[in-house]
Structures are given as structure tokens and as C-alpha cells.
Amino acid sequence: MHWIALLPQHEPDRPGDPLALGWRALEFTPRVALVDEAVLLEVSSTERLWGGRDRLLARIFEQNRPQAIAARGQGATSLIAIAGLRLALAQSEKPREQTALPDDLPLATLSAARPHLPTLARLGCRSWGQLRALPRAGIARRFGAALVDALDRAYGERPESHRWLALPERFDQALDLPTLATGTPGLLWAVQRLLDRLSAWAGARQQGVLALEFEWTLDQRRLNGRPLPLHEQLVLRTAQPTQSSAHLRRLAGEHLARAKLAAPANRLRLRTLETAPWPGASASLLQGDERPGERLHQLVERLGARFGQERVLMWAPRTDHRPERMQQWCAAQPLLARAPRAAASCDAVAKSPSATGPAATGPAATDPAAAGLPAVDARLYPAWLLPAPQPLTV
């Protein structure tokens, strides 16, 4: 068996999340576990599928570029891998020979030995090998059987047991805020962390997010003598399925900037309301539709969140032979989300009696504003289009 231990990078504006890293690691092996501060991968049965151990490690680091990996460790057992990770993180001296592992590893890298480090240091034990050389019965009597059991598992003399990480069917995660959030900017730390988890979950599930809900728990029950709800919600919808945490973060930031908390919040929850299968990247040799920069539907969603969906419009075609009624302004976001259905609904609204009248006569027949069109002067109509029919001289 071969184990890899990973530790996510902690940054001030992007805290490391072992759970999100573990969900991304499920792409490479089904045997992933969270132990202490590390994400453990057992890759002996899958490394051949990725072209070997070195290529597998390169793919893991490339896949987790949005969330950098601070350190890694490898070994024949999970405890050796965790010890190597801690040794690399501390930048202390490394064993000179690979064959000396794990005897030369410091005792501080073994979790079960950490509570007893001062006593063991007075006994002259500073490495795994020195502790293992002591009588087993004496170690168990003085420090407990857990330390002896950990040594046996570290050296592969006893089987290891881990609780493997599994993806939930639906995403529903919550975080306690480090401090009370008196305004929506105080929620952004938890928003970033939850969206990283959502992106990892969606990538592992091959799902794209269409609708999600933020729910924060209020710390107070009454304010100025009036009762307060237990929770407040904010629902976000996207025109097309997405796995991009950056786009969702910008969209959430636009909505949260306009929201107000009724009272300080102490907990934030994120759950998905609607998802769709993710098509994935095309492997065609032909040039695809991918273009650099922000996509149209993402721009429309951000503008709709900032100015209101009813203020962001797009032209929609209509099934009408009259030039002035062949197109109409409609809300852009539903039009991009369900193009055929949205166009049909827009066409139905334009053809409703309230818009055109029973027989499409009167002001609605000649006035575009009465027919549901925007009241603007610079309409791109043909120059020969007349306000009313004119008889032809034959």
C-alpha cells in the first residue's frame, strides 16, 4: 500500500478547507480519509491508471490549483505519510536514507505520542525507533495501550481502519462564523469556504449548479420589542449550469451587497436547490465555442443582481409577419436560461389581449409601446414602414 498525505494552504483571504480538498481527491482514488489536519489518499490500486506515482502527484497538484497544497508526505502507512507531511511543514531535518524510515522520524510527528513528549524526552526517546526499542509492556503500562497500537499501525504490523470520505447526494453544508456578522461583509469568509466546497462537490458529482440558497442564523430572537425570524435566506439562480466558484462568489457578493441583516448572524448554511448534468470539456480537435473572458450569461447575472433583473433586457424574436412585431424586449436572464421556452413565453405575453387588443387594432396596432415594445425614439424599423396602411394606386 502507498499513502499520500496532503495539507491545504491557508491564506488570509482564502482559508484552506480539508473537506473540499478531499472531495477533489476522490477523482483519483475512492480511498480518501480525513485524519487530523491531513487529507489521506491510498493510491496503490489506482496509481497505474494515472501513469505512475509521479504523474498522479502532478495531476493532483494541477487539479488543486484553485486551492494550493501547503505540504505533502508519502509512506507505506498512513501514519508515516502524516509524519512526512508534518516534517516537511516544519522544514526540519529529513532522514538521510530512505531505508531508515520510519525509525528516524521524530516522535513529535506521531499523534499518539504528542501528549507524552516531555516524559519521553526525559527517557531519551526522541524518535520512533527509540520508542519502539523500549519494552512494550512498560510502554502500555506507563503511557497506555493506544501508543503501542499506534506504533504497530505505523510499522504496518496491525491493519489500519479509516472512515472513507463519501460524496453526499445533495450539497448541504453549514459553517459557524468565527465572529458575529453584523453585516453582509461579515458573511463573505464563510461564503468563500462554502463555495469552494460546492465547486469540489459539483466537480466530483459531474453536476452544474443552477440554483442555490444561502441561509444565515440570527443570533437574536427579538429586536426593539419585535420578534425576529430564526433564519434569513438568499436564493441565487444562474442562467446555465456552472461549477465556477469565482463566478458564484461574484454573484453572491452582488446580492449580499444589497441585502441587510435583521440582526447579527452566527452561522451560515449553503445548499443546492437545482442542479443539472455537467457536459464537461470537449476533446475535439476542432476549435470550440470557448472564448477567453466572462461569458454572456455570467455578465447578465451580475448586472441583474446589481440593477435588477427587470432592467437587463434582450431582444427576443416573435412569430409575426409585421416588422414592428417581429421582436420584443424581454428580461435577459430567463431568456438565456431557457432560450426556447423564454422566447415562447415572451411571445405569449406580447400576443396577450392586454398587449395587442382583441383584434390587434387601435393604438396597439401602431404604437410599439402599447404592443409591449420599449418606448424609444431610435427604433431600427425599415424606412418604408408607415404608421397606417396606405392604398396603392393600380
Residue 217 pairs in a beta bridge with 231, 267
| Radius of gyration of the CA atoms of the chain, in A | 31
Which residues fall within 8 angstroms of residue 175, CB to CB, at 6 or more apart? 190, 193, 194, 267, 268, 269
> Does some domain include residue 370?
no
- Looking at the structure, tell me whether residues 32 and 99 fall in a common domain: yes
- Looking at the structure, tell me whether residues 139 and 48 fall in a common domain: yes
- Looking at the structure, tell me whether residues 75 and 216 fall in a common domain: no
Pick the last residue of a domain from 305, 323, 341. 305
pLDDT of residue 172: 93
Query: How many residues appear in the chain?
Result: 394
- Looking at the structure, tell me whether residues 182 and 323 fall in a common domain: no
- Looking at the structure, tell me whether residues 9 and 122 fall in a common domain: yes
- Please name the helix (run of DSSP H) or strand (run of DSSP E) that holds residue 329, with its range, or none: strand 327-331
Tell me the three cell numbers of residue 106: 521524530
Please say whether the beta carbons of 328 and 267 come within 8 A. no
In the predicted model, residues of the chain with pLDDT beneath 70 are 11-15, 64-67, 91-100, 280-294, 337-386
> Does some domain include residue 378?
no
> Closest by alpha carbon to 195, among 266, 256, 249, 233?
249
pTM of the model: 0.69
DSSP calls for 9-57: PP-SSS---HHHHHHHHTTT-S-EEEETTEEEEE-TTTGGGGTSHHHHH
- Looking at the structure, tell me whether residues 346 and 271 fall in a common domain: no
pLDDT of residue 338: 60
pLDDT of residue 362: 39
Q: What distance in Å separates the CA atoms of residue 388 and residue 322, rounded to the nearest whole number?
A: 12
Tell me the three cell numbers of residue 200: 469540489
- CA end-to-end span of the chain, whole Å? 94
- Looking at the structure, tell me whether residues 228 and 346 fall in a common domain: no
Report H helices in 91-171: 117-122, 128-132, 136-143, 145-154
Please say whether the beta carbons of 81 and 40 come within 8 A. yes
- Looking at the structure, tell me whether residues 13 and 148 fall in a common domain: yes
> Does some domain include residue 68?
yes
Q: What is the pLDDT of residues 184-211, one digit of tens each?
A: 788 888 888 899 899 989 988 999 998 9
- Looking at the structure, tell me whether residues 348 and 266 fall in a common domain: no
pLDDT of residue 43: 92
The single residue listed with the C-alpha cell 461564503 is: 191
- Looking at the structure, tell me whether residues 139 and 205 fall in a common domain: no
Q: What distance in Å separates the CA atoms of residue 237 and residue 234, rounded to the nearest whole number?
A: 10
The number of distinct structural domains making up the chain is 3
> Does some domain include residue 393?
no
> Does some domain include residue 359?
no
- Looking at the structure, tell me whether residues 40 and 138 fall in a common domain: yes
> Does some domain include residue 366?
no
Q: Does the bond joining 102 to the residue before it have cis omega, within 30 degrees of 0?
A: yes
> Looking at residue 251, which CATH number applies to its domain?
3.30.1490.100
> Does some domain include residue 368?
no
Angle formed by the axes of helices 136-143 and 145-154, nearest 10°: 130
Domain that holds residue 176: 172-277+296-305
- Looking at the structure, tell me whether residues 229 and 249 fall in a common domain: yes
> Does some domain include residue 287?
no
Q: What is the pLDDT of residues 67-93, one digit of tens each?
A: 678 788 888 999 999 998 888 888 644
Residue 218 pairs in a beta bridge with 265
The single residue listed with the C-alpha cell 512498560 is: 138
